[in-house]
A = this chain, B = another copy of it.
Amino acid sequence: MIDKQIIYKPIGIIHSEHTMAEKTPIQPVYARGCKGHVIVLEEFKAGLSDLDGFSHIYLIYHFNQAPPVKLLVKPFLQDVERGIFSIRAPGRPNSIGLSVVELIRIEDNILYIDGVDILDGTPLLDIKPYTAKFDLHDIRKNGWQDEVDEPTAQKRSKRGYRS
């Protein structure tokens, strides 16, 4: 089973103001005010019911412009090579992206969102609610991120986006 291919199809497309990877914020938390919208395919529209009750949602998407896979890579926040599974960079064995974005409103099959760190035109794979019951965990250790102070993180996370 481990060799088996898993096949997904996009359920929609994410649109944002980010057209160049090197100018896209690295995470939603550093993308406040970056608005975007998600167009969900008509055939899945019924699945959006009740989603507008949530202030935050997970978007799971395919990094369709990912660079080649590297198992060790420098995160944007630090000049030290780290294992790919300890960072969020796109060049990973399966190019799956995960962002928690703020849901502003839903109109028909379009989700208007804020805190968008995703490239324009990115294929969407799934949407899940981000909730107090399921998603707030009592973190004890943040690995290499504990070595990065917040001003440095703020500065480096934007990849020159606002400079």
Q: How many residues of A contact B (CB 8 A)?
A: 75
C-beta contact mask, A44-82 vs B, less than 8 Å → 1, else 0? 101111111111111010101000000110000000001
A19 at the interface (CB under 8 A from B): no
Question: Which of B121, B125, B150 makes the CB contact (< 8 A) with A96?
Answer: B125
Q: What is the total number of copies of this protein in its complex?
A: 2
User: Which A residues have a C-beta under 8 Å from some C-beta of B?
Assistant: 1-13, 27-29, 41, 44, 46-58, 60, 62, 64, 71-72, 82-88, 92-94, 96, 98, 100, 121, 123, 125-137, 139-146, 148, 150, 153
Given contacts A6-B7, A132-B145, 4 further A-B contacts (CB under 8 A): A2-B123, A86-B129, A129-B143, A131-B145
16 contacts across the A-B interface (CB closer than 8 A) = A1-B64, A27-B134, A44-B85, A47-B71, A47-B84, A48-B83, A48-B85, A50-B86, A51-B85, A55-B139, A56-B137, A88-B128, A88-B129, A88-B134, A100-B137, A136-B136
